[in-house]
Amino acid sequence: MRVELTDIHKHFGALRANDGISLTLEPGTIHGLLGENGAGKTTLMKCLSGYQAPDGGTIRIDGQPASLTSPSEAMQRGIGMLHQDPLDFPQMRVLDSFLLAFEGGLFPNMRRGRALLRDLGTRFRFDLDPDTEIGRLTIGERQQLEILRLLALGAQVIILDEPTTGISTPQKAKLFDTLRRLAYDEGRTIVFVSHKLEEVQELCQRVTVLRRGKVVGEAEMPYPVQSLVELMFGRSLPPVECPPVEHGPAVLKVEKISVPSYRLTVEGIDLQVHAGEVVGLAGLEGSGQGLFLRACAGLERITAGRILLDGRDLTGAPYRRFLQAGVAYMPASRLEEGLVRGMDLTEHFALAERGGPFFIDWVAAQQGASDHIAHFNIVGQPSTVIEALSGGNQQRVLLALLPGRLRLLLMEHPTRGLDVESARWVWQQLLARREDGTAIVFLSADLDEILEHADRVAVFFGGTM
pLDDT at 245: 78
Q: What is the pLDDT of residues 141-158, one digit of tens each?
A: 888 899 999 999 899 999
Computed over every residue of the chain, the mean pLDDT equals 88
CB neighbour list of residue 14: distance below 8 Å, 6 or more residues apart: none
What's the whole-number mean pLDDT along residues 443-463?
89
- Residue 174: inside a domain: yes
Residue 438, CB-side half-sphere exposure with 13 Å CA sphere: 24
Helix, strand, or coil here: 166?
coil
CB neighbour list of residue 441: distance below 8 Å, 6 or more residues apart: 252, 273, 278, 279, 281, 293, 296, 408, 409, 410, 411
- Please check whether residue 8 is in contact with residue 22, taking contact to mean a CB–CB distance below 8 angstroms: yes
- Residue 266: inside a domain: no
Residue 56, beta-bridge partner list:
9
- Please check whether residue 411 is in contact with residue 384, taking contact to mean a CB–CB distance below 8 angstroms: no
Q: What is the pLDDT of residues 85-143, one digit of tens each?
A: 767 787 889 998 888 867 665 566 788 888 999 999 898 888 889 999 888 888 788 88
- Please check whether residue 77 is in contact with residue 60, taking contact to mean a CB–CB distance below 8 angstroms: no
In one-letter notation, the amino acid at residue 457 is V
- Please check whether residue 110 is in contact with residue 142, taking contact to mean a CB–CB distance below 8 angstroms: no
Confidence of residue 308 (pLDDT cuts 50, 70, 90): very high
What's the whole-number mean pLDDT along residues 401-414?
91
For residue 175, the domain's CATH number is 3.40.50.300
- Residue 136: inside a domain: yes
Which has the higher per-residue pLDDT, 284 or 258? 258
- Residue 69: inside a domain: yes
In which region does residue 230 sit, left (phi positive, over 0), alpha (psi from -120 to 50) or beta (all else)?
alpha
Q: What is the CA radius of gyration of the chain?
A: 23
What's the whole-number mean pLDDT along residues 315-319?
92
- Please check whether residue 264 is in contact with residue 286, taking contact to mean a CB–CB distance below 8 angstroms: yes
- The Cα–Cα gap between 91 and 230 comes to 44
- Residue 192: inside a domain: yes
Confidence of residue 452 (pLDDT cuts 50, 70, 90): confident
- Residue 376: inside a domain: no
- Residue 53: inside a domain: yes
- The Cα–Cα gap between 49 and 71 comes to 6
pLDDT at 103: 65
Q: What is the pLDDT of residues 175-232, one digit of tens each?
A: 999 999 999 999 999 999 987 888 899 999 999 999 889 999 998 988 888 888 888 8
Tell me the pairing of strands 56-61 and 214-220.
Answer: unpaired
List the 327-330 sheet strands across, edge first: 327-330, 408-412, 439-443, 278-282, 456-459
- The Cα–Cα gap between 455 and 275 comes to 12
In one-letter notation, the amino acid at residue 59 is I
What's the whole-number mean pLDDT along residues 307-324?
93
- What are φ and ψ of residue 409, in 5° steps? -120, 120
- Please check whether residue 138 is in contact with residue 284, taking contact to mean a CB–CB distance below 8 angstroms: no
Kindly report whether the global pTM for this prediction surpasses the value 0.85: no
- The Cα–Cα gap between 257 and 259 comes to 7
Torsion of CA 237, 243, 249, 252, to 10 degrees: 20
- Comparing C-alpha atoms, which of 229, 236, 169 is closest to residue 197? 229
Cα dist from 89 to 134, 142, 192, whole Å? 7, 10, 24
- Count other Cβ atoms within 10 Å, centred on residue 227: 14
Structural domain including 134 reads 3-233
List the 15-25 sheet strands across, edge first: 15-25, 3-12, 56-61, 64-65
Angle at 120 between CA 119 and CA 121, to 5 degrees: 90
pLDDT at 3: 95
Helix, strand, or coil here: 303?
coil
- What are φ and ψ of residue 424, in 5° steps? -60, -45
Residue 450 has pLDDT above 80, yes or no: yes
| Domain count for the chain | 1
In one-letter notation, the amino acid at residue 62 is D
pLDDT at 239: 63
Angle at 208 between CA 205 and CA 212, to 5 degrees: 160
pLDDT at 106: 58
Q: What is the pLDDT of residues 333-355, one digit of tens each?
A: 788 888 999 999 999 999 887 66
- Residue 331: inside a domain: no
Q: Give the relative orientation of helices 420-435 and 225-233 as an angle to the nearest 10 degrees.
A: 80
Q: Give the relative orientation of helices 391-401 and 420-435 as an angle to the nearest 10 degrees.
A: 10
pLDDT at 183: 95
What's the whole-number mean pLDDT along residues 428-446?
91
In one-letter notation, the amino acid at residue 223 is Y
What's the whole-number mean pLDDT along residues 1-27?
91
HEC readout, 229-298:
HHHHHCCCCCCCCCCCCCCCCEEEEEEEEEECCCCCCEEEEEEEEECCCEEEEECCCCCCHHHHHHHCCC
